[in-house]
Amino acid sequence: MTATNEWAASEGFAAVSPASAQALARSMDDYGVGVLHEIVPAAILAKLRSFIEQQIEQHGGQYFSFEGKSWITGTCLQPLFEDAGLQGLLRSLYERKMRASPPSRRIFPVLRVLTGTHGLRHALNFHYDSYVVTVLIPILIPHAPGEPPGHLVMFPNLRNARRFAVVNILEKLLVEKLLKRLWRNEGVQQRMSAKLIPLTPGNLYFFWGMRSLHANQACLPTSVRSTVLLHFGDPHEDSVFKGLSQHMHARRLRRMARD
């Protein structure tokens, strides 16, 4: 499930190349996930962890997330976010899977920090992404003895990418809301060959976000689990139904914050 990255370092990051697309896509198809190792150096991880620690204090020691380009601009992750090699790789992966050009070059970044009792509410919330390609960048993963690390868990490539927005919305409603308890059942996970993906900070984990039903396992309320997600290639970007999908997502997050 590993693709070798042989490019030289740039802006503190190991360089990423579209030449990795074939190996990554094969691994994503066969195993659910493809990995580029040691892309984010320790110095940048340390800066991000310091930023996260400050934000946890400002959020009362509870779960929070940042979405969209504004939060990543000016941070030490911006060079990776704007890297031409990464952008080319994402486009190549999209084209391999969809047999079409992506609707735009937009990458949608998300920072998630799971901690406190509110962090538990975000465990095992299985979902499909609205984007074809997802890159997961672990920043801080619990690793003390006996401490649950909050592995990524997924049902790899459970469906095909949906070309029609209304079909995608209805299917997400069925799978993520009406059947949400089903996916949490350990027996179902075993029978359907769900995979646990241990995460190592510094690596980049690629998977077909729209095809793979996925979630994170629970961490202790006293732990901190932080990841950055880079979403790319929304085939429904220009659909009139896109607003409905975004409204459903925002409402779900508000409900989880209240409960």
In a domain, 1, yes or no: no
> How many domains does the chain fold into?
1
DSSP 157-193: T-SPPPSSHHHHHHHHIIIIIITHHHHH-HHHHHHTT
pLDDT tens digits for 70-122?
999 999 999 999 999 999 999 999 999 999 999 999 999 999 999 999 889 89
In a domain, 207, yes or no: yes
Its pTM stands at 0.90
In a domain, 113, yes or no: yes
Task: Give the model's pLDDT for residue 3.
Answer: 44
Q: Determine phi and psi for 208, rounding to 5 degrees.
A: -80, 95
Q: Determine phi and psi for 163, rounding to 5 degrees.
A: -85, -20
CATH number, domain of 58, equals 2.60.120.620
Q: Is the pLDDT of residue 6 over 60?
A: no
In a domain, 3, yes or no: no
What is each CA distance from 238 to 130, 210, 213, 243, 247, in whole angstroms?
13, 17, 24, 10, 15
Q: Is the pLDDT of residue 238 over 70?
A: yes
pLDDT tens digits for 48-72?
999 999 999 999 999 999 999 999 9
Q: What is the separation, in whole angstroms, between the first and last Cα of the chain?
A: 38
In a domain, 104, yes or no: yes
In a domain, 183, yes or no: yes
Domain range for 64:
9-258
